Amino acid sequence: MFGKRTAFTLALAAFTVLAAAGPAAGQAVESLWAPVPVTIDGVAQEWDESTPVIDDKSKVEYALRNDERNLYIIMVFKNPLYKSTLDYTGMKIYFTTGAKKSKDFGILFQKKQLTAEGLIANLQQRGQVLTEEQKAEIRKKATHIVFSEEIIKPKKAVAPADPAVETDPPIFRTIEKGRLSVCEFRIPLSRVNQLGGIGAEPGQSILLGFEWGGMTNQILRDMMAGRSDRSVTSSERGVSSDRGFSDESGDDSGGVGSRPGQIPASEYNRDPRYMIRSFWIQAKLATKS
């Protein structure tokens, strides 16, 4: 256990010392080749050879790695102000192999806190058959932390099928250590057999979009109920499945607005802690040397 904490600390120290400014316009972020698959656990021990890049606006530090099957992303948030309401809204990562930004395909990565009954229902909705013993084990805890990955795709999109192609599902994990938050993501390169893939190969250039934060009805409800202070920490957010927020175009996906039945917008919308944050990068996938 001590060794893991030490590796984690050293990796984060490397991020602090070696982080570089965001790429210049038209300059691609280089992904490094991963000789072995990256373990997605929120612990940064596999990233000590990477030079993190800082996004100028959001101040998030990030780096990319890939192998022949997956793209791996690490994101480090050092200031709660720029983390914003990530715990409520999750992180949307969009990807395209085209020349223009597109939100047609992506994944919503979200950490949720569910009641025991909510977790049972969630697992059953995903097709998992639970025994009474398994349900009893889940009910031993009042709440559970669940990491979910929801694929964003056009309504009629269909993944090409090929039983000979093996792909890994998208996953993510996050660790919080004081004011520091570390998120690791895995996104499959191939789109065959699943729509959660990028549809790219090693050596190819892709566009990646990151979007998180914003004011939601659930944040306002928690504030009104006294369950959330202005720091919006995950331990204080209560049980919620609300993930909606408005994007920069004004398109509402369940966030605060003026439609009937919604909580009206307030002065919190102008607070930088509750801003929607997003940025796009061009990335160059690595090839095996």
Determine the Cα–Cα distance for residues 125 and 170; give it in Å rounded to an integer.
18
Top-confidence residue, 227 or 181: 181
Minimum mean pLDDT range among 18-32, 47-61, 184-198, 233-247: 233-247
Q: How far is CA 90 from the centre of its chain?
A: 6
- What digits encode the pLDDT tens for the residues 89-125? 999 999 999 999 999 999 999 998 889 999 999 889 8
Reply yes or no on whether the pLDDT at 230 is more than 50.
no
pTM: 0.78
Place of tokens 């940064």: 44
Predicted local distance difference test score (pLDDT) of residue 154: 95
Provide the pLDDT confidence category of residue 30 given band limits of 50, 70 and 90: very high
Q: pLDDT at position 260, please?
A: 45
User: What does the pLDDT read at residue 4?
Assistant: 37
> Where exactly are the structural domains of the chain?
2-284
- Quote the mean pLDDT of the chain: 80
* pLDDT of residue 134 exceeding 50: yes
Mean pLDDT across 139-156: 93
Contact 196, 161 (CB under 8 A): no
Asked if residues 79 and 109 have their Cβ atoms less than 8 Å apart, the reply is: no
Residue 222 has pLDDT above 80, yes or no: no
- H or E element: which one contains 283? strand 276-284
Q: What is the pLDDT of residue 248?
A: 35
Q: What percentage of the chain has pLDDT greater than the value 90?
A: 52
For residues 43 and 265, the model is more confident at 43
The per-residue pLDDT for 267 is: 56
Summarize pLDDT for 56-88 with one digit per residue, the tens: 998 999 999 999 999 999 999 998 888 878 888
User: Distance between CA atoms of 237 and 226, rounded to whole angstroms?
Assistant: 10
The pLDDT of residue 191 is 95
